[in-house]
């Protein structure tokens, strides 16, 4: 048996195993290492979930790495079969200019699909808020039938926004290691200094540091942050 067929067989086998691993990790993240809101529903409290010592965000990184390895093997597979690919393309499209145009379009589409996340616009919305919350400053909320308190004036949007965010439900909180202290503060409306004190983080530590890096140094859990956010808003209520 020649070397090239053996190499093709090995590459195909590794590609198949990688695809199965990528699918399996996807199931692991989706159904086992569930986010904070689903953890409260399933376990009745915000527990920490790990598989082989890694949480869902770390497994997400593994998922990405395996995907890139699979992409590399696929490109190698195409290089080894390049002559065959050229023959089939030549049979389907006889014009040289047509083949070149299709190749350029295919290459551009591949690059866009691979790197679109770095250029596409995205929305930053506080956790637990939808489109309706963005309209809070345009129309006053209707008073609750059960409430006996006097509704806040429409001319106080800052107070109304504070009221909305003070009623964070714990199952709406989902903290991950890619977030920074400042992002947690802005998203859940808690003071950065108070958050640092609750987690035992020195005040000199930058609020731009990611929680995943801080957790390894300070030995706290993501559930500690979520619990602090809940207690903070309960005290303010």
Of residues 29 and 210, more confidently modeled: 29
Give the residue ranges of DSSP H helices in the chain: 3-27, 36-43, 56-80, 82-92, 96-115, 157-166, 181-188, 192-199, 211-218, 222-236
Q: What is the pLDDT of residues 94-113, one digit of tens each?
A: 888 888 999 999 999 999 99
Query: Residue 216: pLDDT band by 50, 70, 90 thresholds?
Result: confident
More confident residue, 130 or 108: 108
Mean per-residue pLDDT, 201-205: 82
Extents of the domains making up the chain: 3-80, 175-237
| 132-162 pLDDT tens trace | 444 334 344 444 444 444 444 444 443 444 4
Q: How far is CA 32 from CA 20, 35, 126, 229, in A?
A: 17, 9, 25, 24
User: Which pLDDT score is estimated for 105?
Assistant: 95
Q: How many CB atoms lie within 10 A of CB 168?
A: 24
Q: What mean pLDDT is predicted for residues 63-78? A: 95
Q: Predicted confidence band at 125 (pLDDT cuts at 50, 70, 90)?
A: low
| pLDDT at residue 193 is higher than 90 | no
Q: How far apart are CA 209 and CA 224, in angstroms?
A: 17
Predicted confidence (pLDDT) at residue 176 exceeds the cutoff of 90: no
Residue 229: partners with Cβ closer than 8 Å, 6 or more residues away: 168, 173, 184, 188, 190
| pLDDT tens-digit map of 221-231 | 888 888 888 88
Q: Are 127 and 173 spatial neighbours (Cβ–Cβ below 8 Å)? A: yes
pLDDT of residue 197 exceeding 70: yes
> What pLDDT is attached to residue 237?
67
Would you state the structure tokens that stand for residue 216, as one six-digit string? 């390894």
- Give residue 236's pLDDT band: very low, low, confident or very high (50, 70, 90): confident
What are the CB-based long-range contacts (under 8 Å, 24+) for 169-173? 169/128, 170/36, 170/40, 170/46, 170/226, 170/230, 171/36, 171/37, 171/40, 171/41, 172/37, 172/127, 172/128, 173/36, 173/37, 173/46, 173/127, 173/128, 173/226, 173/229, 173/230
Q: Residue 167: what pLDDT?
A: 42
197-223 average pLDDT score: 83
Residue-wise pLDDT for 29-62, tens only, equals 999 998 776 777 788 776 788 999 888 889 999 9
Per-residue pLDDT, 124: 67
């Amino acid at each position: 048996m020649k070397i090239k067929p053996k190499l093709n067989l090995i590459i195909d086998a590794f590609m198949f195993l990688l695809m199965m691993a990528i699918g399996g990790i996807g199931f692991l993240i989706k159904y086992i290492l569930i986010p904070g809101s689903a953890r409260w529903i399933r376990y009745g409290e915000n527990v920490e979930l790990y598989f082989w010592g890694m949480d869902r965000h770390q497994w997400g990184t593994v998922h990405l790495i395996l995907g890139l390895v699979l992409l590399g093997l696929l490109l190698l597979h195409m290089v080894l079969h390049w002559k065959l690919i050229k023959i089939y393309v030549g049979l389907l499209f006889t014009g040289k200019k047509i083949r070149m145009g299709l190749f350029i379009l295919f290459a551009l589409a591949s690059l866009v699909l691979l790197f679109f996340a770095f250029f596409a616009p995205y929305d930053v919305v506080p956790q637990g808020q939808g489109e309706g919350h963005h309209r809070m400053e345009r129309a006053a909320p209707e008073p609750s039938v059960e409430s006996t308190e006097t509704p806040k004036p429409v001319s106080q949007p800052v107070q109304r926004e504070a009221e909305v965010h003070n009623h964070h439900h714990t199952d709406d909180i989902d903290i991950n290691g890619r977030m920074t202290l400042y992002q947690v503060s802005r998203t859940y409306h808690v003071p950065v200094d108070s958050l640092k004190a609750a987690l035992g983080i020195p005040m000199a530590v930058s609020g731009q540091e990611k929680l995943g890096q801080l957790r390894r140094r300070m030995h706290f859990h993501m559930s500690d942050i979520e619990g602090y956010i809940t207690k903070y808003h309960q005290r303010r209520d």
